Amino acid sequence: MPEADAGAGRERERERERGREREQERFREADRKGGPGHTVLVALVLAVPVTKVTYTVGGGDAVRDVLVGMEPANWPDVLLGMVITDPLLGSVLAVVVSRVVFALFAARGAVPVGGGRARSLQRLGLTAVTPIAVGVIDACFFGPWWGLGTALAAFALRQGVIEEYRTGRRGPHRSHGPEEHHDTGHRPPGWLRRAAGAEQWAALVLTVVVLPFLFFASALDGQSWTSIVTCRVTSGAGTADDRLIELGRKGNGVVGWNLDSEQVSNGLDCTAGESRFVREPWWRG
């Protein structure tokens, strides 16, 4: 009987170990693919710019005319214009991209393990360099406080990933070799383990709830993604000063969506307008 009980205990332990290995593999596979953040970002990059153009110019044939007038090389300008004119959207996007990229490289073994000052400095540098970069970019567009907040948030959301790879809950993918890839002696305090778990939930909420909400709110806010200019436009009906959403530059003029005649027009002698509002936001319509 004791032998049978011991055998059953060993079998339960092996089953728990297999369960831990399956969980680690699931985490590794998600990280290697960029996790849910990668999928969400791809979907947003595809759907949001078209939504922005559709709502701003009124849909229908106007969307096709605007996209043709912009030319494919300028299509990313819609997304870029949304990001650099909305501080909250730009900051959240920077934080999410920073964490997705970090998790992707961590899954491929980029997180240094082991004790010692050298390893600690390597981890600190790896964790801090991209948050500093996105903070500087954010500060250039929106001011120092936005930059500081973005850098700190991006840095904080990387700490949970670091702890999980150091403790072995997640392990980097290796195509060969049995070597250890986590700190066997690293035992983080309880508050740090809880913080790492909270970081995962915070990253998930930012990625799949907050970021899509901010993107679509920006897409439906009734503002142009680029400058609105007043230009001298010549057509069959004569010459008039019309308002254009700038789609591109041609020689000494502008190619834009004419808000007065609702068609793509060439404008000359253009002056920038003060407001980018084209229509009421969707939630007020």
List the pLDDT tens digit at each of the 285 positions of the chain. Answer: 455 555 555 666 666 666 655 655 555 555 555 556 778 888 998 899 999 999 999 888 999 999 988 888 788 899 999 999 999 999 999 999 988 888 777 666 656 565 667 766 777 777 888 899 999 999 999 999 999 999 999 998 887 777 666 655 554 444 434 444 444 444 555 666 676 677 878 888 999 999 999 999 999 999 999 989 999 998 877 899 999 999 988 778 899 999 999 999 999 999 988 888 999 999 886
The reported pLDDT for the residue numbered 128 is: 86
Residue 52, token pair as written in the block: 């922005």
The reported pLDDT for the residue numbered 158 is: 81
The reported pLDDT for the residue numbered 23 is: 56
Angle, to 10 degrees, between the axis of helix 35-57 and the axis of helix 2-32?
A: 30
H-helix or E-strand spanning residue 228: strand 228-235
The reported pLDDT for the residue numbered 75 is: 85
The reported pLDDT for the residue numbered 285 is: 67
The reported pLDDT for the residue numbered 176 is: 39
Q: Of 44, 57, 46, 55, which is closest to residue 246 (Cα–Cα)?
A: 57
**In this structure, how many other beta carbons lie within 10 angstroms of the beta carbon of residue 189?**
8
Angle, to 10 degrees, between the axis of helix 190-205 and the axis of helix 144-167?
A: 120
Counting other chains too, the contacts that 247-255 makes at CB distance below 8 Å and 24 or more residues apart are 247/66, 247/69, 247/70, 247/74, 248/69, 248/70, 248/71, 248/74, 254/229, 255/69
Residues 6 or more apart from 164 whose CB is under 8 A from it?
A: 27, 170, 196
